[in-house]
Amino acid sequence: MLRSLRLLPAVVLVGLAAHANAEDNWQQQVAQNLGKPGSVMPGGVYRVGLPRTDLKVTLDGVALKPGFAFGSWLAFKAMDRTGDEVMAMGDLVLTETEIAPVMTKLAESGIDITALHNHLLRAQPATFYMHVLGHGDPVKLAAALHEGLALSKTPLGDAGGAAPSQTVDLDTAMIDRTLGAKGRAAGGVYQFGIARAETVKDGGMEVPVAMGSAEAINFQPTGTGKTAITGDFVLTATEVNPVLRALRENGIEVTALHNHMLDDQPRLFFMSFLGE
């Protein structure tokens, strides 16, 4: 490998280094202006998790973990090699009183609101999910998103304290076999992100899994020998009602049917569900 690099012309090596530095630079700027660092994900996505650890939500007597259904996030993807322009997408978990101030601030800053909906029924307090989209300078986008989030109680910065548990009291091997996918444990919840077969685009740009195009399925043990499940199926129009009927026939509630994007190809619908 080292020998191969030595054979490359100096101008090529300089170009590769400049590209890497540019990529690192815009990601660092996003972290600094958003107020919280993220992680580099497959597909060239820089994703920042913003779990609502401040919320204590119960549903049907079960205390729900932040990773079960309250994981706000923002994801950024460069639209060119320099990182001078990026696409930002995200899903913000908000309480009812936070919706109007956050929406107003984001709209004033040029951030588009692409969806607003519920995921859960009977949860106390009720939570809502605001999907956002922006294009442009990464510093300005991150700063605008920070200003909007600051009008909610979404925790920003380094929360510190003990790291959340990466184990979960479930037969995860059995769940993996049944779903035909590999999940991951995070904060006491077993999570899946399953990509659709086709490439998902929004406004002509590819939307990788880390930007919210995957089917999400989360399992949380309830301590009663049962498991709570929630998530979103990502469906085309012809798939919506067959999936809905299959879920209802198996006792799983369909809690919402909505869009997340406005200019997606193929046109997709997100079906939220809940079961125990």
Mean pLDDT of the region 119-131: 96
- What CA–CA distances, in Å, run from 69 to 32, 50, 79, 110, 213? 26, 12, 30, 27, 16
Query: Is the dihedral angle over the CA atoms 60, 63, 67, 70 positive or is it negative?
Result: positive
Mean pLDDT of the region 169-184: 95
Residue 123: count other Cβ atoms within 10 Å of its Cβ. 20
Mean pLDDT of the region 226-243: 97
Nearest to 205 by CA among 134, 141, 102, 254: 134
What confidence score (pLDDT) does residue 18 get?
42
Please, which pLDDT band fits residue 165 given cuts at 50, 70 and 90? low
What confidence score (pLDDT) does residue 225 get?
78
Torsion of CA 51, 57, 58, 59, to 10 degrees: -70
Cis peptide preceding 266, ω within 30 of 0: yes
Share of the chain above pLDDT 70, in %: 88
At 31-56, the pLDDT tens digits run 999 999 999 999 999 999 999 999 99
What confidence score (pLDDT) does residue 14 get?
38
What confidence score (pLDDT) does residue 234 get?
98
Torsion of CA 225, 227, 228, 230, to 10 degrees: 180
Please, which pLDDT band fits residue 223 given cuts at 50, 70 and 90? confident
At 240-253, the pLDDT tens digits run 999 999 999 999 99
Q: Is the pLDDT of residue 59 over 90?
A: yes
Each domain of the chain, given as residue ranges in start order, spans 23-275
